[in-house]
Copies of this chain bind each other. A is one copy, B any other.
Amino acid sequence: MCRFVGYKGNPITVADLLIRSENSLIVQSIDAKESIKPVNGDGFGLGWYPEHSDPEPGVFTSIEPAWSNRNLRRLSEKIVTSCFFAHVRDATIGMPVTELNCHPFRYGNYLWMHNGFINSFKLIRRRLMKDLSDDAFNLIEGNTDSEFSFAYFLNQIGLDKNASADTLGANMMLMIENLRHALSELEITAHSMLNFAMTDGENIILTRATCGKIDAAPSLYYSETDDAVIFASEPLSKVRENWRKLPTNSVFVIDKNNSIEILQL
């Protein structure tokens, strides 16, 4: 059901978290510990903010498993950055394995990832699609609920590429509420898993949420140090005391200064 990781802080080499940590994202791609299925081998993606003055992140995605991809290893060793997102995918049944479906998705300075799925997505997609402006609609290239949610979110903020942390946080809440509302209207009671992460390179919005079943949210942890914030679907190291679980049905707004506000869904 996918695993992801994000980092913001003093510049580090991406490989430190992606490869060299004990339960790195690459380990989680083949042997995840806190999800029903251990394998997340349906592609991956890395988005990072360059150190030079370029606010738009780079993105590298592939449909190959993360564990065997040489480019990922080589890039991770060479990219030094103060903010990155990375994702390993376990495709929901019926969702094709294609680069267009690999996270993180990008728009302007934003990156977006999802861990989970929207139940009966095909049933609610067309209904929700009607809300989208043509510009937001035309951003969609793949066929996942994850990318669709991003387009829906972007539509809410009018495709504004420079929204504030508050606006991003409020619209993340609104997007989830809209999803829940649509599911409820169609009387879809089976649960959805709605862990989202987005950033503009300075602020991070993070959700651990469900719909239809209170305790079904995928695992999600964060770790704070003096100079960095890390979040990850699973702790990257066995030193558990460094990792705190996010409460279910909450939105984390981590701003430029790494101060954290928690909103209840």
Chain A interfacial positions (CB closer than 8 Å to B): 30, 38-39, 41-42, 48, 50-52, 54, 57-65, 67-68, 70-71, 74-75, 77-80, 91, 96-100, 122, 126, 134, 137-138, 141, 143
Cβ of A50 and Cβ of B137 under 8 Å apart? no
Cα distance, A173 to B228, chains bound together (Å):
51
Is B41's CB under 8 angstroms from A60's CB? Answer: no
Nearest B residue (CB) for A89: B68
The answer to whether A126 and B137 have CB atoms under 8 Å apart is yes
Min distance, Cβ A105 to any Cβ of chain B, angstroms: 13
* A74-B99 in contact (CB<8A): no
- A97 CA to B73 CA in the complex, in Å? 14
4 smallest CB-CB distances across A and B, nearest first, come from A58-B78, A68-B97, A98-B98, A41-B41
A57 contacts which chain B residues (CB < 8 A)?
Answer: 78
Given contacts A52-B80, A65-B65, A98-B99, contact A58 B39 (CB under 8 A): no
Judging by beta carbons under 8 Å apart, are B39 and A39 in contact?
yes
Q: A97-B68, A126-B134 are in contact. Are A58 and B74 (CB under 8 A)?
A: yes
Bound CA span A143–B134, Å: 15
Are B62 and A64 closer than 8 Å at their CB atoms? no
> Do residues A58 and B30 form an inter-chain contact, with CB atoms below 8 A?
no
Interchain nearest-CB distance for A246 vs B (Å) = 28
Q: Report which of B50, B68, B126, B138 forms a contact with A78, defined as CB distance below 8 A.
A: B50
Find out whether the CB atom of A59 lies under 8 angstroms from the CB atom of B39.
no
Determine whether the beta carbon of B91 is less than 8 Å from that of A70: no
Chain B residues positioned under 8 Å from A98 (CB to CB) = 98-100
CB distance from A76 to the nearest CB of B (A): 9
Shortest distance from the beta carbon of A19 to any chain B beta carbon, whole Å? 14
Q: Point out the residues of chain B lying under 8 angstroms from A67, CB to CB.
A: 41
The answer to whether A50 and B100 touch across the interface, beta carbons within 8 angstroms, is: no
CB closest residue in chain B, given A58: B78
